[in-house]
Structure 1
């Protein structure tokens, strides 16, 4: 049962990563067509969110494999949060301006 759940989790994370990359590509194409500061901020935001999704996937695998524990695991989790903060801040800027 655990193996099936792990497979479902991996599949869902791959779908999430694919969707985030798709949004990044679409926002980049929009920025290339019409180069505005808003679209540039949106593209950078989606790129950082995609990076956050990728780092989260990697850090979860490290955490569940037991390779990192205690302080190391917390530092990894902090590092996975930083791209999300930057990404959402850039999307906020793109919508606010």
Structure 2
């Protein structure tokens, strides 16, 4: 199965793309699990941290050439999903406190 995944991911970034996919899925799963326990300021920091990780990673991936565009897209999508999840949790808390 790993050979099929490596063959599929080769044009988009190869093994680095697969590793980043695993990290993105794991970090998002942890965010979903712990978002109720995080304070509002920690959720805002999570949004900023996602941007601080995704923007340089996507820039480096784009500079490495057209073979790594999958890494750039994955980092942008991960950043957007984390940001939306944190924003929705913050909005839910604000609406619940009224």
TM-score scaled by structure 2?
0.48
TM-score scaled by structure 1?
0.49
